[in-house]
Chain A
Protein backbone atom coordinates (compact mmCIF):
# COMPACT_ATOMS: atom_id res chain seq x y z
CA UNK A 1 0.00 0.00 0.00
CA UNK A 2 1.11 3.57 -0.66
CA UNK A 3 2.82 5.31 2.27
CA UNK A 4 0.57 8.30 1.96
CA UNK A 5 -3.16 8.64 1.56
CA UNK A 6 -4.05 9.17 -2.09
CA UNK A 7 -7.37 10.22 -3.55
CA UNK A 8 -7.70 6.75 -5.08
CA UNK A 9 -8.04 5.34 -1.55
CA UNK A 10 -11.41 7.04 -1.25
CA UNK A 11 -12.82 5.85 -4.57
CA UNK A 12 -15.12 3.13 -3.27
CA UNK A 13 -13.09 0.62 -5.29
CA UNK A 14 -10.09 -1.57 -4.79
CA UNK A 15 -7.67 0.88 -3.14
CA UNK A 16 -10.47 1.97 -0.81
CA UNK A 17 -11.09 -1.66 0.20
CA UNK A 18 -7.39 -2.17 0.80
CA UNK A 19 -7.21 0.85 3.11
CA UNK A 20 -10.24 -0.31 5.08
CA UNK A 21 -8.98 -3.88 5.38
CA UNK A 22 -5.38 -3.13 6.26
CA UNK A 23 -5.92 -0.21 8.61
CA UNK A 24 -9.45 -0.12 10.01
CA UNK A 25 -10.60 -3.73 10.00
CA UNK A 26 -7.23 -4.76 11.35
CA UNK A 27 -7.61 -2.46 14.34
CA UNK A 28 -11.35 -2.71 14.98
CA UNK A 29 -12.00 -6.33 13.98
CA UNK A 30 -15.21 -7.89 15.38
CA UNK A 31 -18.03 -10.12 14.14
CA UNK A 32 -20.49 -7.34 13.35
CA UNK A 33 -17.97 -5.19 11.49
CA UNK A 34 -16.71 -8.10 9.44
CA UNK A 35 -20.13 -8.70 7.92
CA UNK A 36 -19.31 -5.61 5.88
CA UNK A 37 -22.90 -4.59 5.23
CA UNK A 38 -24.28 -1.14 4.44
CA UNK A 39 -25.40 -0.85 8.06
CA UNK A 40 -24.43 -2.88 11.13
CA UNK A 41 -27.18 -5.13 12.47
CA UNK A 42 -27.22 -4.92 16.27
CA UNK A 43 -29.43 -5.63 19.28
CA UNK A 44 -30.35 -9.20 18.28
CA UNK A 45 -31.24 -8.16 14.78
CA UNK A 46 -33.71 -5.51 15.88
CA UNK A 47 -31.72 -2.41 14.91
CA UNK A 48 -29.59 -1.23 12.04
CA UNK A 49 -26.84 1.30 12.73
CA UNK A 50 -24.85 3.28 10.17
CA UNK A 51 -22.69 6.35 9.68
CA UNK A 52 -21.51 8.34 6.70
CA UNK A 53 -19.61 11.58 6.11
CA UNK A 54 -20.32 13.91 3.26
CA UNK A 55 -18.13 16.21 1.25
CA UNK A 56 -19.15 17.28 -2.19
CA UNK A 57 -18.10 20.02 -4.57
CA UNK A 58 -20.14 21.89 -5.64
CA UNK A 59 -22.29 21.94 -2.46
CA UNK A 60 -25.41 22.63 -4.51
CA UNK A 61 -25.84 20.60 -7.67
CA UNK A 62 -28.71 19.81 -10.05
CA UNK A 63 -31.01 17.43 -8.18
CA UNK A 64 -29.75 18.05 -4.66
CA UNK A 65 -27.24 19.49 -2.25
CA UNK A 66 -24.91 18.30 0.51
CA UNK A 67 -27.73 18.47 3.08
CA UNK A 68 -30.11 16.24 1.14
CA UNK A 69 -27.20 13.94 0.41
CA UNK A 70 -26.29 13.68 4.11
CA UNK A 71 -29.77 12.52 5.08
CA UNK A 72 -30.39 10.28 2.06
CA UNK A 73 -26.98 8.64 2.43
CA UNK A 74 -27.43 7.41 5.98
CA UNK A 75 -31.15 6.69 5.68
CA UNK A 76 -30.53 4.67 2.52
CA UNK A 77 -27.80 2.65 4.21
CA UNK A 78 -30.32 1.77 6.94
CA UNK A 79 -33.05 1.02 4.41
CA UNK A 80 -30.71 -1.36 2.59
CA UNK A 81 -30.75 -3.58 5.69
CA UNK A 82 -34.53 -3.59 5.65
CA UNK A 83 -34.70 -0.96 8.39
CA UNK A 84 -36.89 2.09 8.87
CA UNK A 85 -34.68 5.10 9.77
CA UNK A 86 -35.66 6.53 13.18
CA UNK A 87 -32.98 8.56 14.94
CA UNK A 88 -30.05 10.43 13.41
CA UNK A 89 -27.23 12.55 14.76
CA UNK A 90 -25.35 15.05 12.66
CA UNK A 91 -21.98 16.76 12.93
CA UNK A 92 -20.84 19.77 10.98
CA UNK A 93 -17.26 20.81 10.33
CA UNK A 94 -17.49 24.28 8.86
CA UNK A 95 -14.82 26.48 7.35
CA UNK A 96 -14.40 29.99 8.74
CA UNK A 97 -16.08 32.44 6.43
CA UNK A 98 -18.80 30.08 5.23
CA UNK A 99 -22.09 31.80 4.45
CA UNK A 100 -24.86 31.50 7.07
CA UNK A 101 -27.37 31.80 4.26
CA UNK A 102 -25.96 28.72 2.56
CA UNK A 103 -25.83 26.85 5.86
CA UNK A 104 -29.52 27.59 6.36
CA UNK A 105 -30.29 26.34 2.88
CA UNK A 106 -28.43 23.11 3.62
CA UNK A 107 -30.20 22.61 6.95
CA UNK A 108 -33.59 23.27 5.36
CA UNK A 109 -33.05 20.58 2.80
CA UNK A 110 -31.93 18.19 5.55
CA UNK A 111 -35.19 18.90 7.41
CA UNK A 112 -37.23 18.21 4.31
CA UNK A 113 -35.50 14.91 3.64
CA UNK A 114 -35.80 13.83 7.29
CA UNK A 115 -39.54 14.36 7.08
CA UNK A 116 -39.73 12.15 4.01
CA UNK A 117 -37.99 9.38 5.92
CA UNK A 118 -39.97 9.88 9.13
CA UNK A 119 -36.70 10.27 11.03
CA UNK A 120 -35.49 12.91 13.49
CA UNK A 121 -32.14 14.45 14.44
CA UNK A 122 -31.59 13.74 18.12
CA UNK A 123 -28.07 15.04 18.64
CA UNK A 124 -25.25 16.83 16.93
CA UNK A 125 -21.97 18.64 17.04
CA UNK A 126 -20.49 21.73 15.41
CA UNK A 127 -16.85 22.58 14.77
CA UNK A 128 -15.60 25.66 13.00
CA UNK A 129 -12.07 25.47 11.61
CA UNK A 130 -9.76 28.16 10.18
CA UNK A 131 -9.92 29.09 6.54
CA UNK A 132 -8.45 26.37 4.31
CA UNK A 133 -8.73 23.52 6.84
CA UNK A 134 -11.82 22.03 5.19
CA UNK A 135 -13.46 22.68 1.86
CA UNK A 136 -16.41 24.85 2.99
CA UNK A 137 -18.42 22.27 4.95
CA UNK A 138 -18.26 18.58 5.85
CA UNK A 139 -21.26 16.81 7.33
CA UNK A 140 -21.41 13.51 9.17
CA UNK A 141 -24.67 11.75 9.91
CA UNK A 142 -25.17 8.62 11.98
CA UNK A 143 -28.46 6.81 12.19
CA UNK A 144 -30.41 4.05 13.86
CA UNK A 145 -33.27 2.26 12.19
CA UNK A 146 -35.78 -0.39 13.22
CA UNK A 147 -35.38 -3.51 11.16
CA UNK A 148 -38.66 -4.40 9.44
CA UNK A 149 -37.43 -7.56 7.81
CA UNK A 150 -34.66 -9.69 9.27
CA UNK A 151 -32.07 -11.64 7.36
CA UNK A 152 -31.32 -9.26 4.49
CA UNK A 153 -27.65 -9.86 3.80
CA UNK A 154 -25.25 -9.65 0.90
CA UNK A 155 -23.63 -12.88 2.09
CA UNK A 156 -26.45 -15.24 1.09
CA UNK A 157 -27.21 -14.56 -2.59
CA UNK A 158 -27.63 -17.75 -4.65
CA UNK A 159 -28.68 -18.93 -8.10
CA UNK A 160 -32.30 -18.77 -6.89
CA UNK A 161 -31.95 -14.98 -7.02
CA UNK A 162 -32.15 -12.46 -9.82
CA UNK A 163 -30.49 -9.05 -9.74
CA UNK A 164 -32.34 -5.80 -10.43
CA UNK A 165 -31.46 -2.12 -10.47
CA UNK A 166 -34.05 0.44 -9.44
CA UNK A 167 -33.36 2.96 -12.21
CA UNK A 168 -30.89 4.23 -14.81
CA UNK A 169 -27.30 4.39 -13.60
CA UNK A 170 -24.61 6.95 -12.99
CA UNK A 171 -26.66 10.13 -12.69
CA UNK A 172 -25.06 11.49 -9.54
CA UNK A 173 -21.49 10.79 -10.65
CA UNK A 174 -22.07 12.27 -14.09
CA UNK A 175 -23.85 15.35 -12.68
CA UNK A 176 -21.10 16.11 -10.17
CA UNK A 177 -18.39 15.52 -12.75
CA UNK A 178 -20.06 17.78 -15.27
CA UNK A 179 -20.72 20.49 -12.64
CA UNK A 180 -17.23 20.31 -11.16
CA UNK A 181 -15.44 20.39 -14.47
CA UNK A 182 -17.71 22.96 -16.03
CA UNK A 183 -18.84 20.67 -18.81
CA UNK A 184 -21.80 22.42 -20.30
CA UNK A 185 -24.60 20.06 -21.19
CA UNK A 186 -27.42 21.20 -23.37
CA UNK A 187 -29.77 18.66 -21.87
CA UNK A 188 -31.05 18.39 -18.34
CA UNK A 189 -28.94 16.07 -16.24
CA UNK A 190 -29.83 15.76 -12.55
CA UNK A 191 -28.44 13.74 -9.68
CA UNK A 192 -30.61 10.78 -8.70
CA UNK A 193 -30.21 11.83 -5.03
CA UNK A 194 -33.29 10.49 -3.20
CA UNK A 195 -34.41 8.57 -0.13
CA UNK A 196 -35.21 4.92 -0.68
CA UNK A 197 -36.96 4.15 2.61
CA UNK A 198 -40.44 3.97 1.09
CA UNK A 199 -39.33 1.77 -1.79
CA UNK A 200 -37.90 -0.77 0.61
CA UNK A 201 -40.89 -0.59 2.94
CA UNK A 202 -43.25 -1.18 0.02
CA UNK A 203 -41.25 -4.19 -1.15
CA UNK A 204 -41.37 -5.65 2.36
CA UNK A 205 -45.09 -4.92 2.71
CA UNK A 206 -45.79 -6.64 -0.62
CA UNK A 207 -44.03 -9.74 0.67
CA UNK A 208 -41.22 -9.70 -1.88
CA UNK A 209 -38.59 -12.23 -0.80
CA UNK A 210 -35.54 -9.94 -0.59
CA UNK A 211 -32.12 -11.54 -0.29
CA UNK A 212 -29.93 -8.43 -0.47
CA UNK A 213 -30.16 -4.70 -1.13
CA UNK A 214 -27.46 -2.12 -1.62
CA UNK A 215 -27.45 1.47 -2.74
CA UNK A 216 -24.88 1.90 -5.48
CA UNK A 217 -22.95 4.92 -4.20
CA UNK A 218 -19.20 5.36 -4.78
CA UNK A 219 -17.81 2.78 -7.15
CA UNK A 220 -21.26 2.44 -8.71
CA UNK A 221 -23.12 -0.75 -9.55
CA UNK A 222 -19.93 -2.55 -10.56
CA UNK A 223 -18.53 -2.14 -7.03
CA UNK A 224 -21.77 -3.48 -5.52
CA UNK A 225 -21.91 -6.50 -7.83
CA UNK A 226 -18.26 -7.33 -7.25
CA UNK A 227 -18.68 -7.13 -3.48
CA UNK A 228 -21.73 -9.38 -3.68
CA UNK A 229 -19.99 -11.89 -5.94
CA UNK A 230 -17.17 -12.18 -3.42
CA UNK A 231 -19.30 -12.11 -0.26
CA UNK A 232 -21.76 -14.73 -1.51
CA UNK A 233 -19.27 -16.82 -3.54
CA UNK A 234 -21.31 -16.50 -6.70
CA UNK A 235 -20.84 -15.45 -10.31
CA UNK A 236 -23.05 -12.57 -11.41
CA UNK A 237 -23.83 -12.65 -15.14
CA UNK A 238 -24.91 -9.24 -16.35
CA UNK A 239 -26.70 -8.82 -19.67
CA UNK A 240 -24.97 -5.71 -20.98
CA UNK A 241 -27.82 -4.40 -23.11
CA UNK A 242 -30.21 -4.54 -20.15
CA UNK A 243 -28.20 -1.99 -18.12
CA UNK A 244 -30.30 1.20 -18.08
CA UNK A 245 -28.36 4.38 -18.81
CA UNK A 246 -29.86 7.74 -19.74
CA UNK A 247 -28.84 9.62 -22.87
CA UNK A 248 -27.22 12.37 -20.82
CA UNK A 249 -25.12 10.02 -18.72
CA UNK A 250 -24.16 8.02 -21.78
CA UNK A 251 -23.02 11.24 -23.41
CA UNK A 252 -20.77 12.18 -20.50
CA UNK A 253 -19.39 8.63 -20.43
CA UNK A 254 -18.69 8.51 -24.15
CA UNK A 255 -17.02 11.89 -24.01
CA UNK A 256 -14.74 11.11 -21.10
CA UNK A 257 -14.24 7.36 -21.42
CA UNK A 258 -16.19 6.41 -18.29
CA UNK A 259 -18.57 3.52 -17.80
CA UNK A 260 -21.94 4.28 -16.23
CA UNK A 261 -21.69 1.16 -14.06
CA UNK A 262 -18.67 2.71 -12.32
CA UNK A 263 -20.27 6.07 -11.62
CA UNK A 264 -21.74 6.97 -8.24
CA UNK A 265 -25.48 7.03 -7.56
CA UNK A 266 -27.25 8.52 -4.54
CA UNK A 267 -30.78 7.23 -4.98
CA UNK A 268 -30.36 4.03 -6.96
CA UNK A 269 -30.22 0.58 -5.45
CA UNK A 270 -29.36 -2.92 -6.51
CA UNK A 271 -31.66 -5.75 -5.44
CA UNK A 272 -31.16 -9.47 -5.19
CA UNK A 273 -34.58 -11.11 -4.88
CA UNK A 274 -35.94 -14.60 -5.26
CA UNK A 275 -36.78 -15.32 -8.92
CA UNK A 276 -40.44 -16.06 -8.29
CA UNK A 277 -41.00 -12.57 -6.85
CA UNK A 278 -39.75 -10.72 -9.92
CA UNK A 279 -43.21 -9.70 -11.12
CA UNK A 280 -44.29 -8.54 -7.70
CA UNK A 281 -41.07 -6.55 -7.23
CA UNK A 282 -41.65 -4.80 -10.54
CA UNK A 283 -45.23 -3.96 -9.56
CA UNK A 284 -43.95 -2.27 -6.41
CA UNK A 285 -40.94 -0.50 -7.94
CA UNK A 286 -42.76 0.69 -11.03
CA UNK A 287 -45.30 2.47 -8.83
CA UNK A 288 -42.63 4.94 -7.67
CA UNK A 289 -41.67 7.74 -10.00
CA UNK A 290 -37.93 7.32 -9.61
CA UNK A 291 -37.96 3.55 -10.00
CA UNK A 292 -40.56 3.26 -12.72
CA UNK A 293 -37.87 1.94 -15.03
CA UNK A 294 -36.50 -0.67 -12.64
CA UNK A 295 -35.18 -3.66 -14.59
CA UNK A 296 -33.55 -7.01 -14.15
CA UNK A 297 -29.92 -6.84 -15.21
CA UNK A 298 -28.36 -10.11 -14.10
CA UNK A 299 -28.66 -13.75 -13.15
CA UNK A 300 -26.58 -15.66 -10.66
CA UNK A 301 -24.47 -18.70 -11.54
CA UNK A 302 -21.36 -20.44 -10.27
CA UNK A 303 -19.31 -20.35 -13.46
CA UNK A 304 -16.67 -17.87 -12.29
CA UNK A 305 -17.13 -17.68 -8.54
CA UNK A 306 -16.36 -14.27 -7.06
CA UNK A 307 -16.55 -12.59 -10.45
CA UNK A 308 -18.96 -10.42 -12.38
CA UNK A 309 -19.29 -11.25 -16.07
CA UNK A 310 -20.69 -8.90 -18.67
CA UNK A 311 -22.45 -10.63 -21.61
CA UNK A 312 -22.78 -8.66 -24.82
CA UNK A 313 -25.73 -9.00 -27.15
CA UNK A 314 -23.42 -10.24 -29.91
CA UNK A 315 -22.05 -13.15 -27.94
CA UNK A 316 -18.85 -11.98 -26.27
CA UNK A 317 -18.15 -11.81 -22.57
CA UNK A 318 -15.76 -10.04 -20.28
CA UNK A 319 -15.23 -9.46 -16.59
CA UNK A 320 -16.64 -6.36 -15.01
CA UNK A 321 -14.13 -5.45 -12.33
CA UNK A 322 -14.25 -3.26 -9.29
CA UNK A 323 -13.25 0.21 -10.41
CA UNK A 324 -9.70 1.15 -9.53
CA UNK A 325 -7.89 4.42 -9.18
CA UNK A 326 -9.20 7.90 -9.28
CA UNK A 327 -11.92 8.52 -11.83
CA UNK A 328 -9.91 10.12 -14.61
CA UNK A 329 -10.94 10.82 -18.16
CA UNK A 330 -9.26 8.98 -20.99
CA UNK A 331 -6.99 11.07 -23.15
CA UNK A 332 -7.73 9.95 -26.65
Chain B
Protein backbone atom coordinates (compact mmCIF):
# COMPACT_ATOMS: atom_id res chain seq x y z
CA UNK B 1 0.00 0.00 0.00
CA UNK B 2 2.77 2.33 0.98
CA UNK B 3 4.59 1.51 -2.24
CA UNK B 4 1.57 2.30 -4.39
CA UNK B 5 1.14 5.59 -2.60
CA UNK B 6 4.80 6.43 -3.03
CA UNK B 7 4.73 5.63 -6.72
CA UNK B 8 1.53 7.64 -7.10
CA UNK B 9 3.26 10.54 -5.40
CA UNK B 10 6.29 10.16 -7.65
CA UNK B 11 4.04 10.09 -10.69
CA UNK B 12 2.37 13.26 -9.48
CA UNK B 13 5.72 14.99 -9.07
CA UNK B 14 6.93 13.84 -12.46
CA UNK B 15 3.69 14.91 -14.09
CA UNK B 16 4.27 18.27 -12.49
CA UNK B 17 7.69 18.61 -14.02
CA UNK B 18 6.40 17.75 -17.47
CA UNK B 19 4.33 20.93 -17.26
CA UNK B 20 7.33 23.05 -16.37
CA UNK B 21 7.24 24.61 -19.84
CA UNK B 22 4.38 26.91 -18.94
CA UNK B 23 5.09 30.42 -20.21
CA UNK B 24 3.40 33.27 -18.41
CA UNK B 25 2.47 36.04 -20.83
CA UNK B 26 2.28 39.46 -19.19
CA UNK B 27 -0.03 42.08 -20.66
CA UNK B 28 -1.74 45.26 -19.57
CA UNK B 29 -5.31 44.43 -20.54
CA UNK B 30 -6.30 48.07 -20.96
CA UNK B 31 -5.23 49.07 -24.47
CA UNK B 32 -7.73 47.95 -27.09
CA UNK B 33 -7.41 46.69 -29.72
CA UNK B 34 -3.89 45.52 -28.76
CA UNK B 35 -4.97 43.91 -25.52
CA UNK B 36 -8.01 44.30 -23.31
CA UNK B 37 -10.25 42.38 -20.97
CA UNK B 38 -13.46 41.46 -22.76
CA UNK B 39 -16.89 41.22 -21.21
CA UNK B 40 -16.27 37.62 -20.27
CA UNK B 41 -13.44 38.83 -18.08
CA UNK B 42 -10.81 37.22 -20.32
CA UNK B 43 -7.80 38.72 -22.07
CA UNK B 44 -8.70 39.51 -25.67
CA UNK B 45 -7.35 41.51 -28.58
CA UNK B 46 -4.73 41.38 -31.30
CA UNK B 47 -1.95 40.34 -28.95
CA UNK B 48 -4.03 37.58 -27.39
CA UNK B 49 -4.54 36.06 -30.84
CA UNK B 50 -0.89 36.51 -31.81
CA UNK B 51 0.39 35.21 -28.49
CA UNK B 52 -1.80 32.12 -28.53
CA UNK B 53 -0.75 31.30 -32.08
CA UNK B 54 2.93 31.82 -31.27
CA UNK B 55 2.60 29.48 -28.31
CA UNK B 56 0.99 26.79 -30.47
CA UNK B 57 3.77 27.08 -33.04
CA UNK B 58 6.50 27.07 -30.41
CA UNK B 59 4.78 24.18 -28.66
CA UNK B 60 4.54 26.05 -25.37
CA UNK B 61 1.82 26.02 -22.79
CA UNK B 62 0.88 29.66 -22.21
CA UNK B 63 -1.18 31.45 -19.59
CA UNK B 64 -2.07 35.12 -19.53
CA UNK B 65 -1.26 37.47 -16.67
CA UNK B 66 -2.55 41.00 -16.22
CA UNK B 67 -0.11 43.55 -14.88
CA UNK B 68 -0.24 47.32 -14.68
CA UNK B 69 1.72 49.16 -17.35
CA UNK B 70 3.70 51.10 -14.75
CA UNK B 71 5.33 48.04 -13.27
CA UNK B 72 5.27 45.78 -16.28
CA UNK B 73 9.06 45.77 -16.85
CA UNK B 74 10.09 45.41 -13.16
CA UNK B 75 7.75 42.46 -12.75
CA UNK B 76 9.20 40.79 -15.85
CA UNK B 77 12.78 41.02 -14.63
CA UNK B 78 11.82 39.81 -11.17
CA UNK B 79 10.31 36.74 -12.77
CA UNK B 80 6.58 37.14 -12.11
CA UNK B 81 5.96 36.30 -15.76
CA UNK B 82 8.13 35.43 -18.74
CA UNK B 83 7.14 37.77 -21.58
CA UNK B 84 5.67 41.21 -22.06
CA UNK B 85 3.20 41.29 -24.92
CA UNK B 86 1.51 44.61 -24.40
CA UNK B 87 1.89 46.84 -27.44
CA UNK B 88 5.39 47.76 -26.30
CA UNK B 89 7.45 49.52 -28.97
CA UNK B 90 11.03 48.43 -29.29
CA UNK B 91 13.22 51.30 -28.07
CA UNK B 92 16.91 51.61 -27.18
CA UNK B 93 16.12 52.64 -23.57
CA UNK B 94 13.97 49.61 -22.93
CA UNK B 95 16.49 47.40 -24.69
CA UNK B 96 19.03 48.26 -22.01
CA UNK B 97 16.84 46.63 -19.36
CA UNK B 98 15.12 43.82 -21.24
CA UNK B 99 15.44 42.09 -24.61
CA UNK B 100 12.97 42.25 -27.45
CA UNK B 101 12.00 39.69 -30.05
CA UNK B 102 11.67 40.85 -33.63
CA UNK B 103 8.62 43.02 -34.21
CA UNK B 104 5.24 41.35 -34.60
CA UNK B 105 3.50 44.63 -35.41
CA UNK B 106 4.96 47.20 -37.85
CA UNK B 107 5.52 50.86 -36.92
CA UNK B 108 2.19 52.66 -36.82
CA UNK B 109 1.61 56.42 -36.50
CA UNK B 110 0.75 58.11 -33.23
CA UNK B 111 -2.15 60.55 -33.14
CA UNK B 112 -2.89 63.71 -31.18
CA UNK B 113 -6.50 63.77 -30.06
CA UNK B 114 -8.22 66.90 -28.76
CA UNK B 115 -11.75 68.16 -28.32
CA UNK B 116 -13.47 68.91 -31.60
CA UNK B 117 -13.11 72.49 -32.72
CA UNK B 118 -10.44 73.31 -30.14
CA UNK B 119 -7.33 75.06 -31.38
CA UNK B 120 -4.49 73.00 -29.95
CA UNK B 121 -0.90 74.18 -29.78
CA UNK B 122 0.93 70.88 -30.17
CA UNK B 123 4.38 72.25 -29.44
CA UNK B 124 3.50 74.61 -26.59
CA UNK B 125 0.25 73.40 -25.04
CA UNK B 126 -0.47 70.81 -22.37
CA UNK B 127 -0.33 67.28 -23.79
CA UNK B 128 -1.35 64.13 -21.91
CA UNK B 129 0.33 60.76 -22.41
CA UNK B 130 0.57 57.46 -20.60
CA UNK B 131 3.61 57.11 -18.33
CA UNK B 132 6.68 55.38 -19.76
CA UNK B 133 5.43 55.29 -23.32
CA UNK B 134 7.31 56.45 -26.39
CA UNK B 135 4.62 59.11 -26.76
CA UNK B 136 5.41 60.51 -23.29
CA UNK B 137 9.08 60.69 -24.26
CA UNK B 138 8.20 62.42 -27.50
CA UNK B 139 5.97 65.05 -25.85
CA UNK B 140 8.64 65.79 -23.24
CA UNK B 141 11.07 66.67 -26.03
CA UNK B 142 8.59 68.50 -28.24
CA UNK B 143 8.45 71.58 -26.02
CA UNK B 144 4.87 70.98 -24.93
CA UNK B 145 4.02 70.52 -21.25
CA UNK B 146 3.69 66.81 -20.56
CA UNK B 147 1.13 65.47 -18.09
CA UNK B 148 1.48 61.75 -17.47
CA UNK B 149 -1.11 59.21 -16.35
CA UNK B 150 -0.83 55.58 -15.31
CA UNK B 151 -3.41 54.36 -17.82
CA UNK B 152 -4.39 55.39 -21.32
CA UNK B 153 -7.95 55.74 -20.06
CA UNK B 154 -7.00 58.60 -17.76
CA UNK B 155 -5.25 60.54 -20.52
CA UNK B 156 -8.58 60.70 -22.34
CA UNK B 157 -10.42 61.91 -19.25
CA UNK B 158 -7.77 64.60 -18.92
CA UNK B 159 -8.69 65.93 -22.35
CA UNK B 160 -12.38 65.59 -21.61
CA UNK B 161 -12.23 67.67 -18.44
CA UNK B 162 -9.86 70.24 -19.84
CA UNK B 163 -6.79 69.31 -17.83
CA UNK B 164 -4.89 68.69 -21.06
CA UNK B 165 -5.34 70.23 -24.51
CA UNK B 166 -4.70 66.97 -26.31
CA UNK B 167 -3.52 63.41 -25.78
CA UNK B 168 -0.80 61.67 -27.75
CA UNK B 169 -1.14 57.89 -28.10
CA UNK B 170 -1.08 55.16 -30.72
CA UNK B 171 -3.52 55.95 -33.51
CA UNK B 172 -4.83 52.41 -33.36
CA UNK B 173 -6.00 53.06 -29.83
CA UNK B 174 -7.34 56.60 -30.33
CA UNK B 175 -9.02 56.39 -33.72
CA UNK B 176 -11.85 54.04 -32.62
CA UNK B 177 -12.49 56.33 -29.65
CA UNK B 178 -12.66 59.37 -31.95
CA UNK B 179 -14.96 57.53 -34.36
CA UNK B 180 -17.38 56.55 -31.59
CA UNK B 181 -17.33 59.81 -29.63
CA UNK B 182 -20.22 61.38 -31.61
CA UNK B 183 -17.99 64.25 -32.61
CA UNK B 184 -16.71 65.07 -29.13
CA UNK B 185 -13.10 64.29 -30.03
CA UNK B 186 -11.07 64.90 -33.17
CA UNK B 187 -7.61 63.98 -34.41
CA UNK B 188 -5.54 67.15 -34.35
CA UNK B 189 -2.18 65.87 -35.52
CA UNK B 190 -0.15 62.84 -36.39
CA UNK B 191 3.49 61.87 -35.87
CA UNK B 192 5.56 58.80 -36.60
CA UNK B 193 7.57 57.75 -33.58
CA UNK B 194 9.17 54.52 -32.54
CA UNK B 195 9.78 51.25 -34.28
CA UNK B 196 7.61 48.20 -34.37
CA UNK B 197 6.09 46.40 -31.43
CA UNK B 198 7.99 43.43 -30.08
CA UNK B 199 7.70 40.95 -27.25
CA UNK B 200 9.74 41.83 -24.16
CA UNK B 201 11.80 39.01 -22.68
CA UNK B 202 14.33 38.85 -19.83
CA UNK B 203 17.92 39.33 -21.02
CA UNK B 204 18.88 36.08 -19.34
CA UNK B 205 16.22 34.18 -21.24
CA UNK B 206 17.91 33.82 -24.65
CA UNK B 207 16.33 30.46 -25.31
CA UNK B 208 12.77 31.77 -25.10
CA UNK B 209 13.71 34.74 -27.26
CA UNK B 210 15.07 32.43 -29.99
CA UNK B 211 11.95 30.25 -29.82
CA UNK B 212 9.63 33.23 -30.09
CA UNK B 213 11.66 34.80 -32.90
CA UNK B 214 11.36 31.59 -34.86
CA UNK B 215 7.62 31.40 -34.28
CA UNK B 216 7.15 35.06 -35.30
CA UNK B 217 9.15 34.44 -38.49
CA UNK B 218 6.94 31.50 -39.37
CA UNK B 219 3.82 33.62 -38.82
CA UNK B 220 5.25 36.36 -41.02
CA UNK B 221 6.13 33.90 -43.78
CA UNK B 222 2.76 32.23 -44.13
CA UNK B 223 0.78 35.46 -43.87
CA UNK B 224 -1.12 34.49 -40.72
CA UNK B 225 0.32 37.49 -38.87
CA UNK B 226 -0.90 39.87 -41.58
CA UNK B 227 -4.32 38.26 -41.42
CA UNK B 228 -4.52 38.96 -37.68
CA UNK B 229 -3.34 42.56 -38.16
CA UNK B 230 -6.12 43.08 -40.70
CA UNK B 231 -8.66 41.44 -38.43
CA UNK B 232 -7.95 43.78 -35.52
CA UNK B 233 -6.69 46.99 -37.14
CA UNK B 234 -8.71 47.08 -40.37
CA UNK B 235 -7.83 46.35 -43.97
CA UNK B 236 -5.79 49.56 -44.34
CA UNK B 237 -3.36 48.77 -41.53
CA UNK B 238 0.36 48.49 -42.23
CA UNK B 239 1.35 44.88 -42.69
CA UNK B 240 4.59 42.97 -43.18
Q: Is chain B a partner of chain A in the same complex?
A: no
User: Which A residues form the contact surface with B (CB < 8 A)?
Assistant: none
